A and B are shown apart, each in its own frame.
Chain A
């Protein structure tokens, strides 16, 4: 490392009276609100026209029977009742999605944490590996990655061949109801880059003294992991858990591509979002699809709330004084 420091950029002389600057009395500040709104307008327009507006419309549609072409008919809670009492495919989509969330999220977090710990040890080339491991998650919801996955796992594909070499003859993974969902879970896990990078940042924040002190006291690697790394990392785990759970609930592209756009063999990959899409855009039942979307939103909100509640029990903040 060179020791030459680039000089600090010159500090701009403070303007005598910068309007709206923090040193002005609080009463003055309120006066500038109209212009704040004026500058916010582009964003506000976007939010209202593209997010809030459609959400309000979809909430209304969820109480109607709407076929996209003729005007919606009010049906009250009919759509919601139908979902839970008269629709086997809906229940199947709930089951598939829950299995996916419950399997893929813990698996992905475990893998990303292990890889992050591996990269955290100072070895040559860790920068390269960090980039290499992160790359798949850049392809996140990409159709291309899912297509490649389908080619890898289909009948006579590389996965079949390799397993057959070891004596395990499997059918086409993507076309068999027993294996199909597993191939999608693996695709999700493979894209562990985003939580991995966040874990890595979290690991770098853990003071080395803690590990050194514990090592001197005779704590082995596992005990140090259990009693230092995990507690110190718990806020990061918490963040990753919430984000990944939300993503998993909303998974769509891999299921759409790998399942051939129809929920896979015998509905084995019928993800919630996929069924919602099919109901709305293929079966022309947009009212029902809207109701499904709102149920999904409610479920994600509830799950997130539960995770937040339990956070008090297992998330440790170093600055305990400010702990809420």
Chain B
């Protein structure tokens, strides 16, 4: 009796132990190896349409580098960062990753990203990239990322509506003229749709507005570059648009999210919105009417505060065992002329100036509008501001929700300003 029970224990253990072992083996298995084929992972954010273009570019890379296999995945902007944070915390960040300037310090400063100035990063050529643009990937002396595309903060608008209101944003408006025009646009539509999306929530617009006055959003030391009074004046400006019903009502403003399809302009609830010039085709598709791109309104002509912005970066994981293959992919995506043709202006203008010139020569439709706009603006563009500090991603959301308190009339302007300043200072540490 005793023996049978013992035997059964053994059988049971025999059944369980291999399970355990395979589990352990799976944990310990080493990716890559043998000098032959290598597999790297590559992630980005964006829509399905963007994913199709990017996958085509990756396929081309695999054809030219048959020994490198690339596993891709993508998600929407917010979900992307949540997923990336979890993967990184788990010690398995992707080999090649898409990084935003708002999160560059967060990841670079914590040694998640490889310094591309040396090592495998030497495979990435920056020769044909505007040096000012290339410098935006450098944080505290280390090149954590390479610009994947260039864009510029800009105003997107419905030219028919503004022409009817007697204004031509493309020629450059003052803030007063813009306020006046939006009020007229709203009135023409019986105030159902409005002239502008309320910009009190937008950190990029605040940044441009500050730059027009010679100030900056963040100092190079990573502190706020403006005072409570600056923010108060900015929100007072936005308040003028709101009170005159030139800007969207609070509930429409609150529905804003960064995707063109779901933004007020994309949903035809407003006739102009501050965004980035490269989003023109996407906005146009969502809105249905022909849209145009214009420089920011400015009170001194020529001083629009706009700059050459890295619309997004590519980076290589510092923990990747395949940094050479990863760097090869980055170089290919940034500099290859074929890739430029495939991805077009989806993320912005090609970072490689030679590729960009080729594409500009053959552009059509809203792409052509974009290239012409950038070409005209190029000489006026300033250098990009310093890399935003850790916590910049949270500041964007803080600005949005404190302004909403004002727009919904739940908080006085002064209270909202002091809440923003105190929470921002806490968040930036």
Which residues in A have their C-beta under 8 angstroms from that of B86?
281
B376 within 8 A of A: no
Q: Are A155 and B252 in contact (CB under 8 A)?
A: yes
Which residues in B have their C-beta under 8 angstroms from that of A70?
110-111
Known contacts: A42-B19, A67-B110, A171-B249. The answer to whether A19 contacts B5 by CB under 8 A is yes
Task: Select which of B81, B257, B394, B408 is within 8 A of A266 by beta carbon.
Answer: B408
B246-262: contact bitstring with A at CB < 8 Å (1 yes, 0 no)? 00011110110100000
Cα separation A93 to B9 with both chains bound (whole Å): 52
Q: Are B82 and A265 in contact (CB under 8 A)?
A: no
B405 within 8 A of A: yes
Cα separation A286 to B423 with both chains bound (whole Å): 19
Q: Are B19 and A265 in contact (CB under 8 A)?
A: no
Q: Are B9 and A286 in contact (CB under 8 A)?
A: no
B77-106: contact bitstring with A at CB < 8 Å (1 yes, 0 no)? 010011001101100000000000000001
Cα separation A265 to B403 with both chains bound (whole Å): 10
Cα separation A176 to B252 with both chains bound (whole Å): 9
Q: Are B19 and A176 in contact (CB under 8 A)?
A: no
Query: Which residues B1-56 have CB closer than 8 A to chain A?
Result: 1-2, 4-5, 8-9, 12-13, 16, 19-20
Cα separation A68 to B2 with both chains bound (whole Å): 52
Task: Select which of B5, B81, B404, B405 is within 8 A of A32 by beta carbon.
Answer: B5
Cα separation A143 to B427 with both chains bound (whole Å): 31
Cα separation A164 to B10 with both chains bound (whole Å): 73
One of A33-41, A190-198, A292-300, A309-317 at the interface: A33-41
A282 within 8 A of B: yes
Closest CB of chain B to A125's CB: distance in Å? 41
Cα separation A69 to B92 with both chains bound (whole Å): 11
Interface band, chain A: 35 or more
B112 within 8 A of A: yes
Which residues in A have their C-beta under 8 angstroms from that of B9?
34-35, 38
Q: Are A266 and B397 in contact (CB under 8 A)?
A: no
Known contacts: A19-B5, A281-B86, A282-B393. The answer to whether A267 contacts B110 by CB under 8 A is no
Q: Are A177 and B410 in contact (CB under 8 A)?
A: yes
B385 within 8 A of A: no
B289 within 8 A of A: no
A95 within 8 A of B: no
Which residues in A have their C-beta under 8 angstroms from that of B404?
177, 265-266
Task: Select which of A45, A86, A155, A286 is within 8 A of B255 by beta carbon.
Answer: A155
Cα separation A267 to B9 with both chains bound (whole Å): 57
Among A69, A154, A264, the most chain B Cβ lie within 10 Å of the Cβ of: A69
A248-266: contact bitstring with B at CB < 8 Å (1 yes, 0 no)? 0000000000001111111
- By beta carbon, the residue of chain A nearest B107 is A69
B401 within 8 A of A: yes
Query: Which residues A237-279 have CB closer than 8 A to chain B?
Result: 260-267
B391 within 8 A of A: yes
Q: Are A39 and B12 in contact (CB under 8 A)?
A: yes
Which residues in A have their C-beta under 8 angstroms from that of B391?
283
- By beta carbon, the residue of chain A nearest B400 is A262
A70-83: contact bitstring with B at CB < 8 Å (1 yes, 0 no)? 10000000000000
B240-276: contact bitstring with A at CB < 8 Å (1 yes, 0 no)? 0000000001111011010000000000010000000
A284 within 8 A of B: yes
Cα separation A280 to B110 with both chains bound (whole Å): 16
Closest CB of chain B to A242's CB: distance in Å? 31
A120 within 8 A of B: no
Closest CB of chain A to B397's CB: distance in Å? 6
Known: A31-B5, A176-B251, A177-B254. 8 other contacts (CB 8 A): A38-B16, A39-B12, A45-B20, A67-B110, A68-B85, A154-B255, A171-B249, A266-B254
26 pairs of residues in contact across A and B, judged by CB atoms under 8 Å = A34-B9, A35-B5, A38-B12, A38-B16, A41-B16, A67-B110, A68-B88, A69-B89, A69-B112, A70-B110, A70-B111, A88-B423, A155-B251, A171-B250, A171-B251, A172-B251, A172-B254, A176-B254, A177-B408, A262-B401, A264-B254, A265-B250, A265-B251, A265-B408, A267-B401, A286-B89
User: What residues make up the interface of B, taking CB atoms closer than 8 Å to A?
Assistant: 1-2, 4-5, 8-9, 12-13, 16, 19-20, 78, 81-82, 85-86, 88-89, 106-107, 110-112, 249-252, 254-255, 257, 269, 391, 393-394, 397, 400-401, 404-405, 408, 410, 419, 423, 426-427
The 8 residue pairs across chains A and B that have the minimum distance between CB atoms: A38-B12, A265-B254, A68-B89, A69-B110, A171-B251, A266-B404, A175-B254, A175-B251
User: What residues make up the interface of A, taking CB atoms closer than 8 Å to B?
Assistant: 19, 31-32, 34-35, 38-39, 41-42, 45, 67-70, 86, 88, 154-155, 171-172, 174-177, 260-267, 281-284, 286
